[in-house]
Amino acid sequence: MMTDLFSKFDALIEQREHLLSTGLTDPFNLVMERVESPTVAICNGQRTILLGTYNYMGMTFDPDVIASGKQALDDYGSGTTGSRVLNGTYAGHKACEEALKTFYAMDHAMVFSTGYQANLGIISTIAGKDDYIVLDIDSHASIYDGCALGNANIVPFRHNDVEALEKRLKRIPDGAKTLVVLEGVYSMLGDIAPLKEMVAVAKAAGAMVLVDEAHSMGFIGEHGRGVAEAHGVIDDVDFIIGTFSKSVGTVGGFCVSNHPKFEILRLVCRPYVFTASLPPSVVATAATSIGKLMHGADKRAHLWDNSQKLHAGLKALGFTLGTETPQSAIIAVIMPDLEKGAAMWDALLREGLYVNLARPPATPANMTLLRCSLCAEHSADQVDQILGMFEAAGRATGCID
């Protein structure tokens, strides 16, 4: 018999065909035909409010950000065609790393081509075969992939459970080197980690700590440095990972650290060395955006108002949410199953609202979620419109009474 390496996808193909046979728009294949602003796009020919972009601070259309990208295109061309360790480090890459060092008040910053590669590279390079990585079970795929690439021993603990972390750390063999990996905001349910307690427990056990602040940078903490800043433990964290694809409003990833030997990573981190660096226009937009995020207190306050208003409104309508109170700019609406979730997603799109449909295996506990992420550029009026759309779609699909 002929081998068909695709047979393992049969169940998924069948499930997908079944879902689409009901006439729904494919939730994983939507085209943004035109994008007007951080909060509005044209989808299926219709003006659509965007509520699933992670564009928390709305920097994608910031005039200064756009101007710096255009200038870099003119001055440096469209791409570097090279690795950071060969011909791919331009003045703009260094300027972007300087902007990160200033933003976080840290000694070192290393820019990667994506946040995924930052986790992949840093985790796999610092924790290898005989080392241990203790991580929250709900960690992002890029964290798990980083663990797998480095071939470290993986010890997961129950989501956001400080005692479970402590117990796992006690079971690590004496003398083994350990990295604890945490996230500031968990992107599926929008809940934040008890970093103050967790970092204390990790440090007491002699472990190093890496925190992925992908969903908190720019928004959480007095200077927008993330949950570690908000919880007063940023100086105890060894490595912060982040992305340019959310609050910064472009693409790219990074790690910042005060570790005195950090710079050696540039020579030994494979996902940094064996790939081309970001285009000059991208690092220019990132550097400008990061500089502006340092002074984003008003935007942070407005984003917080939006999150609270949407959370309270959805709760009042009768939806079940991922958190009891809003903890971040992500609000997850829990759907009873994939069919209902897809129907609700489709009904919202028809109303003129885009949210993310999230399903297992990306979600915890097999949940189907409609993930909403707010933007500092959403007006109060847009949040009211969003609530009206949830009410109409919820009634039409029987998700609420």
Ligand X SMILES: Cc1ncc(COP(=O)(O)O)c(C=O)c1O
> Residue holding tokens 């690439």?
149
In the complex, minimum distance from the CB of residue 227 to ligand X, in angstroms, rounded to a whole number: 12
Kindly report each contact of residues 114-117 with a partner whose C-beta sits within 8 Å and lies 24 or more positions away, as own/partner: 114/243, 114/245, 114/251, 114/252, 114/253, 115/142, 115/214, 115/241, 115/242, 115/243, 115/244, 115/245, 115/252, 115/253, 115/254, 116/141, 116/142, 116/145, 116/253, 117/142, 117/253, 117/271, 117/272, 117/275
**Region binding ligand X by CB under 6 A among candidate stretches 20-28, 212-220, 263-271, 377-385:** 212-220
In the complex, minimum distance from the CB of residue 284 to ligand X, in angstroms, rounded to a whole number: 17
* Residues within window 358-397 making contact with ligand X, judged by CB under 6 A: none
Nearer to ligand X, 187 or 382 (CB): 187
Nearer to ligand X, 30 or 400 (CB): 30
Which 3 state secondary structure label does DSSP give 61?
Answer: helix
**Region binding ligand X by CB under 6 A among candidate stretches 92-100, 162-170, 208-216, 267-275:** 208-216
* Residues within window 79-118 making contact with ligand X, judged by CB under 6 A: 114-116
Instruction: Report residue 400: phi and psi, to 5°.
Output: -130, 160
In the complex, minimum distance from the CB of residue 55 to ligand X, in angstroms, rounded to a whole number: 12
In the complex, minimum distance from the CB of residue 328 to ligand X, in angstroms, rounded to a whole number: 12
- Residue from the set 27, 92, 121, 253 that interacts with ligand X by CB under 6 A: 253
Of the candidates 397, 246, 221, the one whose C-alpha atom is nearest the C-alpha of residue 304 is 221
Residue pair 213/242 in contact (Cβ under 8 Å)? The answer is yes
What is the token pair recorded at 367?
Answer: 């949940």
Any contact of residue 187 with ligand X (CB under 6 A)?
Answer: yes
**Region binding ligand X by CB under 6 A among candidate stretches 146-154, 157-165, 210-218, 219-227:** 210-218
In the complex, minimum distance from the CB of residue 367 to ligand X, in angstroms, rounded to a whole number: 16
In the complex, minimum distance from the CB of residue 159 to ligand X, in angstroms, rounded to a whole number: 14
How is 189-208 classified by DSSP, letter by letter?
TTEE--HHHHHHHHHHTT-E
* Residues within window 128-147 making contact with ligand X, judged by CB under 6 A: 140, 142
Nearer to ligand X, 93 or 140 (CB): 140
Tell me how many residues contact ligand X (CB under 6 A): 14
> Residue holding tokens 């494919």?
26
> Residue holding tokens 């979620």?
369
In the complex, minimum distance from the CB of residue 46 to ligand X, in angstroms, rounded to a whole number: 26
Spell out the alpha helix ranges (H) of 185-333. Answer: 195-204, 227-230, 265-268, 270-273, 280-293, 297-317
Nearer to ligand X, 145 or 236 (CB): 145
- Residue from the set 243, 250, 288, 382 that interacts with ligand X by CB under 6 A: 243
Nearer to ligand X, 165 or 347 (CB): 165
In the complex, minimum distance from the CB of residue 392 to ligand X, in angstroms, rounded to a whole number: 30
In the complex, minimum distance from the CB of residue 210 to ligand X, in angstroms, rounded to a whole number: 11
Any contact of residue 184 with ligand X (CB under 6 A)?
Answer: no
In the complex, minimum distance from the CB of residue 112 to ligand X, in angstroms, rounded to a whole number: 8
For 237, other C-beta atoms within 10 Å of its C-beta total 28
Residue pair 242/290 in contact (Cβ under 8 Å)? The answer is no
Any contact of residue 119 with ligand X (CB under 6 A)?
Answer: yes
Nearer to ligand X, 68 or 119 (CB): 119
What CA–CA distance (Å, rounded) separates 149 from 247? Answer: 28
In the complex, minimum distance from the CB of residue 254 to ligand X, in angstroms, rounded to a whole number: 9
**Region binding ligand X by CB under 6 A among candidate stretches 78-86, 161-169, 211-219, 372-380:** 211-219
What is the token pair recorded at 201?
Answer: 């427990």
Nearer to ligand X, 253 or 280 (CB): 253
Nearer to ligand X, 184 or 313 (CB): 184
Residue pair 40/49 in contact (Cβ under 8 Å)? The answer is yes
Side chain identity at residue 31, one-letter code:
V
Nearer to ligand X, 120 or 343 (CB): 120
How is 8-39 classified by DSSP, letter by letter?
GGHHHHHHHHHHHTTT---TTS--EEEEEETT
Which 3 state secondary structure label does DSSP give 279?
Answer: coil
Q: What is the binding site for ligand X (CB under 6 A)? A: 114-116, 119, 140, 142, 183, 187, 212, 214-215, 243, 245, 253
